Amino acid sequence: DKRKNLYREIAIIVRDEGGVIVPMFNQAVDAISDKVGGYVAWHDALMNSLAFTKCWLKA
């Protein structure tokens, strides 16, 4: 019973004070630089729906 209570206390400490790491892998990254022109951000698509033909690098 003492061991059960210790594990319960440990579990509560981990729950309340510990962090959570949620592993995932996203194959797309949405990022932009001020050196890129023609980029239009879309709210429902990553990287302008991958329309890189409409973008260019500024000098």
9-38 pLDDT, tens per residue? 999 999 899 887 878 776 666 667 889 888
Which of 32-52 are b and which e, b meaning 16 or more Cβ less than 10 Å from the residue's Cβ? eeeeeeeeeeeeeeebbeeee
Contact 58, 52 (CB under 8 A): no
- Tell whether the model's pLDDT for residue 58 goes beyond 80: yes
In the prediction, which pLDDT does 26 show? 66
Taking Cα atoms as reference points, which of 40, 23, 41, 34 lies closest to residue 57?
34
Contact 46, 30 (CB under 8 A): yes
| More confident position, 59 or 34 | 34
In the prediction, which pLDDT does 20 show? 78
- Which H/E stretch holds residue 56? strand 56-57
Give domain limits for the chain: 2-57
Confidence of residue 50 (pLDDT cuts 50, 70, 90): low
